[in-house]
DNA sequence: TTGAAAGCGCTAACAG
DNA sequence: CTGTTAGCGCTTTCAA
């Protein structure tokens, strides 16, 4: 009588299962529907590729189990295709309404594309940018959006590495294509040109004795570049101009303070018109002018930047530069989606800004 | 002479490798360092647990390969521990400076915790909230932050499901603990109480004939609740009060328009004091009052909500309610980090607001 | 139209 | 202190 064949030895110690959460997986759904996981996966991605009867069973099982696909697993499994469906964005400050609106544009345009937004802010610090970049890239995002074109060597290396892997890398808020230099997609405008236009507007109005009130944020390079353009244009026209830097206060207060220092410019050429790094600063100057009874633009003409809603309400309404802040985000989203779709790098875009002349200049 | 044993049959067709990207993996680093992947993994998480010599070799290999850990893989591998290191946040609008500041608080307090922020906005739509919730939860975030306590049944189900799995779910900007009802962690304040305080302030100042100018955004429930509290308090004191809704314009313009309609209240009780759903609306009223030469607070007292920087600059400066908008984000971050750390649900927090009496009331 | 097998990159569990 | 093995949940490749 043959003895029963020995059963394969059971493992000496049962290993602990690793599932710790109660979440339904593809396998659970599949079991409930009487198929295997791959069929459910197919149903979710290409419903028409499964038989109608199977589809119905799967749909029921999905509902019954409350299944939510695990995107981490999905990304990992198709890492080669670069389908992370997640866009990482890095801006100087979330609380700054300029960037908040850009992020809104980005998020809105990403809506419906199946891409989520991974957001981080640098606090205008280049070192923190590199740090955050490293953290964001660890998620293997399908695209990367960063602000401006000044980065630490480490950050640049990370960006290049990402780009080399086929991840679209987009620099927003700036547009300085450097012929010959391999670089990233830029979506924005030339801040030097804006500064130049600001100076030319004031000069064209007949003002002599100009000032550019720069941002007190040392790493707001774009504000500084507008200042550079402003001073260069004035110099080119032979008009005296100088730069003052706003103090590190809340912006409207900083503008008030800067206004005061413009009025009493010890030995400086008499200032008749001032351009500001942003509308908040310019508004502060307007408030202070009103308080002191200084005529605007009679004694001093004022010009802002940004076209925030407040400026229109002032008396006189503030002349300013309208910027495509929402559109920059939208354009970045469109560019990266198209790049993801086509496989080609996204094209640069120079977005239009306009100088709006109101009463203050 | 024995024939050579047949080699195991090679697969008929070589399978395509699946790696499509050029990124260094743990195995690459390990090979370069002459160890195995797990040792590198240990070095990255607990450097003191590998021998100094090995550590040095690994450090060199890491530098040489430019390795960046793949967080998707890491999360997946330790899914049971819930270590997604990613916080999902859902707010009505990114461009709205109130929420932008809250997100900034959240992001700042998350800095250094190793958690990234996954952000989405609902556009004040409950349906879009549910949709976005589904998308965000697919990433298996370690915590979820949503705005307010009104959600669709589907959204509630998702939130409860997440909470049941041990994911902290935090509702921000509101605080209405309902005794007995199982609910989520709430971090914010009671908007009804704020409305009540606004009414009592105006009544205490001797104004009779009150109005609450509500937000034109239909789903800004918190603004409506402040209105409810306002009207209830007025009724309780026997003071006539009514609610008007601001038109759907840009906020400052909407405030201007609402102001005009308050002045000519056909048959309504004469309005002597108005509280607004936010400072932008109130500021619009102030601008219009100045334009029309209407005395504030002589003819009409005005009271805002939010304490935006603009209000302080107006003439008279705007009375308002200061809200802890940055602190709400910070507190949410702290609460969820602690919850993640301790394993217990995060505690509710009622954050303080203050009524700031300036010149306009 | 469906399934089996393998593998994405990493880490938990266990063994030395 | 280091390694082996297995597996996270999904998708790709190949076969039926």
What pLDDT is stored for residue B19 in this prediction?
A: 64
Residue to test with chain A: of B92, B313, B333, most A Cβ within 10 A? B313
- The pLDDT of residue A275 is 98
Chosen from A17, A77, A95 to mutate, greatest number of chain B CBs within 10 A: A95
Average pLDDT over every residue of B259-267: 79
Nearest to A79 among B21, B116, B283 (CB): B21
B181-207 residue pLDDT tens: 778 999 999 999 999 999 999 999 999
CB contact under 8 A, A100 and B116: no
Residue A31 CB closer than 7 angstroms to strand D?
no
Size (chain B), residues: 361
The model's pTM is 0.91
- Nearest Cβ partner of B118 from A95, A116, A315? A116
pLDDT score at A267: 52
Phi, psi (rounded to 5 degrees) for B289: -60, -45
The pLDDT-based confidence of A305 (bands split at 50, 70, 90) is very high
Whether nucleic acid strand C comes within 7 Å of the CB of A135, the answer is no
Task: Identify how many contiguous H helices and E strands chain A contains and give both numbers.
Answer: 13, 12
Residue B273's nearest CA partner among B197, B201, B223 is B201
Which string of DSSP letters, residue by residue, matches B17-79? P---S----HHHHHHHHTS-HHHHHHHHH-GGGS-HHHHHHHHHHHHHHT----HHHHHHHTG
- Could you read off the pLDDT of A204-214 as tens digits, one per residue? 999 999 999 99
pLDDT of the residue at B178: 85
Q: How many CA atoms lie within 13 A of A334 on its CB side?
A: 11
Give every strand in the sheet of B143-147, ordered side by side: A349-350, A185-188, A169-172, A143-147, A86-91, A116-121, B116-121, B86-91, B143-147, B169-172, B185-188, B349-350
User: Quick one: pLDDT at residue A13?
Assistant: 43
Owner of token pair 């940004």 = A306
Cα(B109)–Cα(B87) distance, rounded to whole angstroms?
Answer: 12
To the nearest whole number, what is the mean pLDDT of chain B? 91
A positions 278-307 inside 8 Å of B (CB): 283-284, 287, 290-291
pLDDT of residue A228: 98
pLDDT digits (tens, 9 = 90+) for A103-149: 999 999 999 898 999 999 999 999 999 999 999 999 989 999 999 99
Which stretch of A202-211, B263-272, B293-302, B324-333 has the lowest confidence by average pLDDT?
B263-272
**Chain A within 8 Å of B163 (Cβ-Cβ)?**
no
pLDDT of residue A179: 80
Q: Does position B83 have pLDDT exceeding 80, yes or no?
A: no
Least confident of A278-292, B14-28, B93-107: B14-28
DSSP string, A173-223: S-----TTS---EEEE--HHHHHHHHHHHHHHTT--SEEEEE-S-TT-HHH
Per-residue DSSP letter, B99: H
pLDDT tens, B275-320? 999 999 999 999 999 999 999 999 999 999 999 999 999 999 999 9
Q: Residue A5 burial by CB count (10 A; 0-12/13-18/19+): exposed, middle or buried?
A: exposed
pLDDT exceeds 50 at position A1: no
pLDDT in the model for residue A6: 36
pLDDT, residue A195, reads 98
Which of A69, A104, A134 is nearest residue B121 as measured by Cβ atoms?
A: A104
Q: Tell which CATH classification among 3.40.50.2300, 3.40.630.30, 3.60.10.10, 3.10.310.10 matches the domain A191-322.
A: 3.40.50.2300
Average pLDDT, chain A: 91
pLDDT band at A9 (very low <50, low <70, confident <90, very high): very low
Question: Does residue A288 surpass a pLDDT of 60?
Answer: yes
Q: With beta carbons less than 8 A apart as the criterion, state whether B297 and B286 touch.
A: no
Taking only the tens place, the pLDDT of each residue in A311-352 is: 999 999 999 999 999 999 999 999 999 999 888 899 999 999
B23 contacts in A (CB within 8 Å)?
165
- Domain positions in chain A: 26-67, 84-189+326-352, 191-322
A140 vs B: CB within 8 A: yes
Q: Is B100 on the interface with A (CB under 8 A)?
A: yes
CA distance B298 to B185: 44
CATH topology of domain A84-189+326-352: Rossmann fold (3.40.50)
Provide the sign of the torsion angle of the four alpha carbons B180, B186, B192, B193, taken in this order: positive
Q: Answer whether residue B342 shows pLDDT above 90.
A: no
| Nucleotide of closest approach to B58 (CA, C1') | D2
Mean pLDDT of B86-115: 96
**B251, A121: Cβ pair inside 8 Å?**
no
- Interchain proximity B165–A135, CB inside 8 Å: no
Of A22, A71, A121, nearest to B165 by CB-CB distance is: A22
Give the integer Cα–Cα distance in Å for A118 and B226: 33
Compute the average pLDDT of residues B32-42: 94
pLDDT in tens, B7-27: 333 333 445 556 667 789 999
pLDDT digits (tens, 9 = 90+) for B139-167: 989 999 999 999 999 999 999 999 988 89
pLDDT at site B282 = 98
CB within 8 Å of chain A, chain B residues 247-276: 250-252
């Amino acid at each position: 009588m043959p003895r029963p064949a020995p059963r394969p030895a059971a493992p000496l110690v049962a290993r602990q299962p690793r599932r710790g959460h109660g979440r339904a997986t593809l396998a659970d759904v599949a079991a409930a529907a009487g198929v295997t996981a791959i069929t459910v996966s197919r149903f979710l991605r290409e419903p028409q590729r499964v038989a109608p009867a199977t589809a119905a069973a799967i749909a029921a099982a999905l509902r019954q189990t409350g299944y939510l696909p695990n995107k981490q697993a999905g990304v990992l499994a198709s890492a080669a295709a670069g389908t992370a469906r997640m866009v990482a964005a890095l801006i100087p400050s979330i609380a700054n309404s300029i960037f908040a609106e850009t992020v809104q544009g980005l998020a809105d345009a990403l809506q419906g594309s199946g891409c989520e937004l991974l957001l981080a802010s640098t606090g205008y610090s280049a070192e923190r940018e590199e740090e955050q970049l490293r953290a964001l890239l660890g998620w293997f995002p399908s695209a990367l959006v960063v602000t401006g074109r000044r980065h630490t060597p480490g950050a640049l290396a990370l960006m290049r590495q990402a780009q080399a892997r086929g991840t679209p890398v987009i620099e927003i808020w700036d547009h300085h294509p450097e012929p010959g230099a391999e670089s990233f997609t830029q979506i924005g405008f030339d801040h030097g040109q804006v500064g130049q236009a600001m100076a030319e507007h004031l000069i064209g109005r007949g003002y002599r004795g100009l000032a550019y009130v720069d941002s007190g944020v040392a790493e707001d390079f774009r504000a500084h570049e507008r200042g550079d353009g402003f001073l260069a244009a004035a110099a080119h026209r032979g008009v005296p101009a100088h730069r003052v830097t706003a103090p590190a206060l809340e912006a409207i207060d900083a503008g008030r303070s800067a206004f005061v220092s413009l009025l009493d410019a010890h030995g400086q050429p008499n200032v008749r018109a001032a351009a500001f790094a942003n509308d908040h600063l310019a508004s502060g100057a307007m408030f202070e002018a009103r308080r002191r009874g200084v005529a605007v633009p009679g004694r001093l003409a004022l010009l802002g930047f940004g076209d925030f809603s407040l400026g229109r309400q002032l008396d006189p309404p503030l002349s300013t530069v309208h910027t495509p802040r929402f559109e920059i985000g939208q354009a970045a989203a469109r560019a990266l989606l198209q790049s993801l779709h086509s496989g080609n790098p996204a094209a640069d875009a120079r977005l239009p800004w306009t100088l709006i002349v109101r009463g203050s200049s």
